[in-house]
Structure 1
Amino acid sequence: MTQTTRVAAGIASVAAGAALAIWSTRSLRDAKRAPTPGKHVAAARAFNHGSALLALSVLADSAMEHYRGSFENPAMYLPPVVALCSLGAALHGGADQRAASHRLRHAIQICGAATGATGTVFHLYNVTRRPGGLTWHNLFYGAPAGAPFALVLSGVLGAIAEQLRDEPEHDPQLFGMPAGKALALVAGAGLLGTAAEAALLHFRGSFQHPAMYAPVTVVPVGSALLAHAALALPRHAARASAFARWWLRLTAALGFAGLGFHANGVARAHGGWRNWSQNLFAGPPLPAPPSFSALALAGLAALRMRETER
């Protein structure tokens, strides 16, 4: 792949993002907004916000990592472009107060989830085809198997938000159960998946800093508490929800604190931020920790909706 082709692909990605942003602005300007959006619309917008934060994380991470891989495979251009489109769709949905889904947004988010799932298969294939096959060494230093999972989550959150908008306000349902319960279970599963990816990478780093234990302890507990709040009996619901809400706020703060820790890790490398062009690739990934915050915010929105179902 020539340098000219890479530059052209980068320009095309920026142009696509700009076009989507212009379209989003005009569409929202002309839309008729409901004066008081229902609880399901508020939850949908919160899920759009979580989807946007995840898409931004994937956009930065995949662009950096695939650039480091010199875009050896043309398919490596696809995740950043799809993540950029998912980001635009999620931001548009987060600002949209209408109680109706948007077909283009919905299609973009489904495409994002499918791209993430395909990327997971590609990354696992990359690991297994290395000498030794599926070993700890190859899981540590091959294509990160869990990285495309964030794009899957971004697409899933965005698609669920669109589906939720079409539900009746008085009794929204998802997957055959009350919407708040379903949303809490989805957010909890996402938290567990991101914690597993952090556990693998921090184990590779030998947990050399005590703070590296936080994602593999705080986040799984948040996932469990969210599931418990979703499934709790009515007499225990209030207490379970209150404790889960407090813990999810802690998880959200942990995501942004992790960004600071990773930035400090880059600064501690030889040359620090003055040598950013090398240390950003060699140091801990900056875009990774905010995924915890995105899913924690989605979980909080699910809990707010779950409380109205009691």
Structure 2
Amino acid sequence: MSTRREGSPWQGLGAVTAKELADHMGSARMRILEWLVVLTAAAALYGALEGIRQTTSTDPFVFLRLFTDAQAPLPSFAALLGFLIPLVAIGLGFDAINGEYNHRTMSRILSQPIYRDALLLGKFLAGLAALAVCLVCLWLLVMGAGLILLGVPPSGEEVLRSLAFLCAALAYAGVWLGLALLCSVVFRSASTSALVALGLWLFTALLWPMLAPAIAQAIAPPDLATVLSGGMDMNTLAWQQALMHASPATLFNDTAITLLSPATRSLGPVFLSQIQGALLGAPLPLSESLAIVWPQFTGLIAAVLVLFTAGYVCFQRQEVRT
């Protein structure tokens, strides 16, 4: 087992981050993932542009509709990002640690003045920086395409809302990068790490929304009178909402809907006052939209911290043989 050396535990962090970021940005894997995201996003953006060109003079948030409008058979741009971001993040992190073991380079790296703390954090920061570069470039392409093809400049609130959505997308990417990094620490086989990470993503994105209502009804069975009247028991609904928000995909989708659709007034049960405000057509200010999605955004940040901490603990307990 490697011994600790005196000095800062973050010694070598900059060197690891720069080296890993250069590897990510120059790899063929990154090129393939980038083209996958760009081409699918361009198709979704084209469908949105076709649907909103007739409403540029009446819609005060026409630029935000570039992210939310969908034209069959493609989903909206925001929905596509919710599907593609986990793929890119898992593709960058599933072999971050076990790849060093398989290439027999881990002991060589740790024999240098580089601590395990700096190695793991450097790999995570490099992956997050690569994802940030991709998301920022994609955001600039969307805003530039909308400015050129629509001929209408975005308002200040539209820019702020889209930037807040960009931050939420980066936090969502950090969740799946942290999960991929954890799998790369736990499993020595890169294929096993990738399959487990992809399996967890598919479970939380596709299966969990179908299982959560059944589990909620088992935990808090609805009242018989409410069922017979065709209503929904509030206790059961509360459990269902809580279980649904255990999925990062649900947290990201709720954040995207609220930030990109200013008319969204609630993510749970809708009350009469909210319906009246929606019927009047008055959009919420950005501060109130942020207040609605603050729990979802902090949930994404907390998931990133929990997953990275779990990977850190597991990595510190592993034995590195020369």
- Give the TM-score, by structure 1 length: 0.29
Higher helix share: 1
